[in-house]
Chain A
């Protein structure tokens, strides 16, 4: 069986430069996304903001992280250069994570609301003071 993508002969010089350029471009993309994520993470600490803004920022950070994961897998791991069938055998099983994350975070949130309903002592002990007056069934994420 021949593996023709891994020819032992050296590729033409121009193509070689393009590949190295792509690697460094990906590095800069990853670095810039990471810096944006860090600035957003720090802003949640440095600036007083309402709960929904914090949630929104966290959501954006999650999406940016997925973008970073895409670049690492597609460019650094060369998965983007493989045959479509092979890519699918890796990517399709990962969709299990959609159920996995949804179901288990839902479960965690349900633990919290039930405990707050039936264990008032624990609620009093653990709920941050500025949130005690507000609705105890507000969003999770532990503050």
Chain B
């Protein structure tokens, strides 16, 4: 073989991998590409349904809660934190891969641990977000009365805003049970039983309609898409954390050190970055636009 062939690097002459890439890593890339289409199909179906609706809830209204902040209106604050955690864990992962290039076992262990911590923190945030959305109490105008619902896959409490006259009329039609639930929104300290013994007039006195932001119910598809897609993403984060934990144990047991290379960390890294990449698009579709 002439020296010219080496400098021109003709990858297709045979005798070497034309992509200059290890088999497992190449296959990880193709798996991720197919996974990108899976996520893409989910997000596009969400887009199709959203385009078919006259009204869709404003993400700034839907995602405005923060742990321990009570009813404070903090649009997109919590999801900003989640995004920051995931970007940060992507950085620690790439630093782990980088340490692996230098066979630096200590470095790999340190950065892998931080990545795992980031992944668990993200999952914890998502658990809080889901719990909050499902259990939150929102006053919704249904069939001429006021009902209190959370965000589930069957109902959506963020429809068109209702004006005060309509809300007041609906309040007068609302049953005792409905009034108890409405009063509970602003009086979380009291239990349903404590509120249940009060008279309708007392309950109505406790209900401040201006603060309840009464709405009609919104597009039902919202919950299914939100929980389905963020759940599928969360499952990827979860499996990524498991993979990283396995990588950590294997590193600690000197498996990669004895093998002479840390290519396995690179494959785990590719998966983890993909999880971050998908979040960029989930963040775009559900929280920003």
By a beta-carbon cutoff of 8 Å, the part of chain A in contact with chain B is 1-6, 8, 10-11, 16, 19-20, 23-24, 27, 30-31, 34, 37-38, 40-42, 44-45, 58, 61-62, 65, 68-69, 72-73, 75-79, 82-83, 85-86, 89-90, 93-94, 96-97, 100-101, 104-105, 107-109, 111-112, 115-116, 123, 126-129, 131, 140-143
CB distance from A118 to the nearest CB of B (A): 13
Also in contact, A2 and B16, with CB within 8 A (given A69-B281, A85-B11, A93-B33): yes
Instruction: Indicate which residue in A19, A45, A86 contacts B19 across the interface (CB closer than 8 Å).
Output: A86
Also in contact, A141 and B51, with CB within 8 A (given A45-B61, A83-B11, A101-B44): yes
CA distance A44 to B60 in the complex (A): 9
Cβ-defined contact, B47 with A108, below 8 A: yes
Q: What are 22 sample pairs from A and B whose C-beta atoms fall under 8 A apart?
A: A8-B261, A23-B94, A31-B87, A38-B80, A41-B288, A44-B58, A45-B58, A61-B289, A73-B273, A76-B90, A89-B30, A90-B29, A90-B30, A90-B33, A96-B37, A107-B48, A108-B48, A111-B51, A126-B55, A131-B54, A143-B54, A143-B55
CA distance A37 to B98 in the complex (A): 29
CB distance from B13 to the nearest CB of A (A): 13
Cβ-defined contact, A143 with B90, below 8 A: no
Instruction: State the main secondary structure of chain B at its contact with A.
Output: helix
Contact count A vs B, C-beta below 8 Å: 187
CB distance from A127 to the nearest CB of B (A): 4
Q: Which residues of A contact B33 (CB under 8 A)?
A: 90, 93-94
Q: Which residues of B contact A90 (CB under 8 A)?
A: 29-30, 33
Q: Which residues of B contact A68 (CB under 8 A)?
A: 280
Stretch at the interface among B20-28, B118-126, B190-198: B20-28
Also in contact, A128 and B160, with CB within 8 A (given A6-B261, A34-B87, A101-B47): yes
Q: Which residues of B contact A19 (CB under 8 A)?
A: 98
CB distance from A87 to the nearest CB of B (A): 9
B49-60 interface mask toward A, CB cutoff 8 Å, 1 = contact, 0 = none?
111111110111
Residue B76 interfacial (CB < 8 Å): yes
Instruction: Indicate which residue in A10, A65, A86, A131 contacts B102 across the interface (CB closer than 8 Å).
Output: A10
Residue B17 interfacial (CB < 8 Å): yes
Residue B40 interfacial (CB < 8 Å): yes
CA distance A126 to B281 in the complex (A): 27
Instruction: Indicate which residue in A34, A75, A85, A116 contacts B54 across the interface (CB closer than 8 Å).
Output: A116
CA distance A23 to B87 in the complex (A): 12
Residue B263 interfacial (CB < 8 Å): yes
Q: Which residues of B contact A96 (CB under 8 A)?
A: 37
* Identity of the chain A residue whose Cβ is nearest the Cβ of B259 in the assembled complex: A8
Instruction: State the main secondary structure of chain A at its contact with B.
Output: helix
CA distance A84 to B267 in the complex (A): 20
Cβ-defined contact, A86 with B52, below 8 A: no
Q: Which residues of A contact B56 (CB under 8 A)?
A: 141-143
Q: Which residues of A contact B36 (CB under 8 A)?
A: 94
CB distance from A18 to the nearest CB of B (A): 11
Which has the most chain B C-beta neighbours within 10 Å: A5, A69, A127? Answer: A69
Q: Which residues of B contact A30 (CB under 8 A)?
A: 87
Cβ-defined contact, B54 with A4, below 8 A: no
Residue B45 interfacial (CB < 8 Å): yes
Q: Which residues of A contact B274 (CB under 8 A)?
A: 77
Residue B270 interfacial (CB < 8 Å): yes
Residue B67 interfacial (CB < 8 Å): no
Cβ-defined contact, B17 with A61, below 8 A: no
CB distance from B72 to the nearest CB of A (A): 15
Also in contact, A123 and B54, with CB within 8 A (given A41-B287, A82-B19): yes
Also in contact, A141 and B50, with CB within 8 A (given A69-B280, A97-B40): yes
Q: Which residues of A contact B84 (CB under 8 A)?
A: 31, 34
CB distance from B134 to the nearest CB of A (A): 22
Also in contact, A115 and B289, with CB within 8 A (given A34-B87, A76-B90): no
